[in-house]
């Protein structure tokens, strides 16, 4: 084997020498390593768990799909997902009066809002 000449031991190490080497190694490790007094980290405050997400599948037209994508890109200081856009729409609808919601839904579906408003009275 080329390059490995001289790697073998020429004379065996006595048990006394081996024990002395072990003790020197162990003793040296204690001298080199400074005792570390690490304070225990404070327990982190637990965040309130969000309600688990429910996957819902619904169909959209290509135009509405693109509009949701554009709306999700409008914020510049935070990231908004497509789900966030839908949640914001629900929040906006909840803030409207019933007549406004019915009129907006009628516009989206192409239905006549007058029929629904008359049925409530």
- pLDDT (tens digit, 9 = 90+) per residue, 31-76? 545 556 777 777 777 777 778 888 888 898 999 999 999 999 999 9
**What proportion of the chain, given as a percentage, has pLDDT over 70?**
76
* Residue 16: inside a domain: no
Does residue 116 fall inside a structural domain? Answer: yes
Residue 62 has a pLDDT of 94
pLDDT at 83: 92
Domain contains 76: yes
Asked whether residue 30 is domain-assigned, the answer is no
Q: Rounded to an integer, what distance in angstroms lies between the CA atom of residue 10 and that of residue 18?
A: 15
Instruction: Choose between 72 and 108: higher pLDDT.
Output: 72
Domain total in the chain = 1
- Would you say residue 80 lies in a domain? yes
Q: Which domain holds residue 86?
A: 62-120
Question: 1-13 pLDDT, tens per residue?
Answer: 566 666 666 677 7
Q: What is the DSSP letter of 78?
A: S
CB atoms inside a 10 Å sphere around CB 106? 16
Look at residue 28 and tell me if it is in a domain: no
Tokens describing residue 101: 């919601």
pTM of the model: 0.51
Asked whether residue 3 is assigned to any structural domain, the reply reads no
Q: Looking at the domain assignment, is residue 113 inside a domain? A: yes
């Amino acid at each position: 084997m080329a390059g490995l000449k001289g790697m073998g031991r020429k004379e065996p190490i006595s048990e006394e020498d081996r024990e002395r080497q072990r003790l020197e190694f162990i003793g040296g490790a204690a001298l080199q390593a400074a005792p570390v007094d690490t304070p225990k980290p404070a327990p982190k405050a637990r965040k309130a768990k969000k309600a688990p997400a429910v996957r819902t599948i619904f169909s959209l037209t290509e135009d509405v799909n693109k509009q949701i994508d554009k709306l999700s890109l409008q914020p510049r200081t935070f990231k908004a997902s497509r789900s966030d856009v839908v949640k914001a729409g629900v929040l906006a609808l909840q803030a409207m009066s019933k007549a406004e919601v019915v009129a907006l839904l009628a516009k989206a579906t192409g239905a006549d809002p007058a029929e629904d408003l008359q049925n409530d009275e």
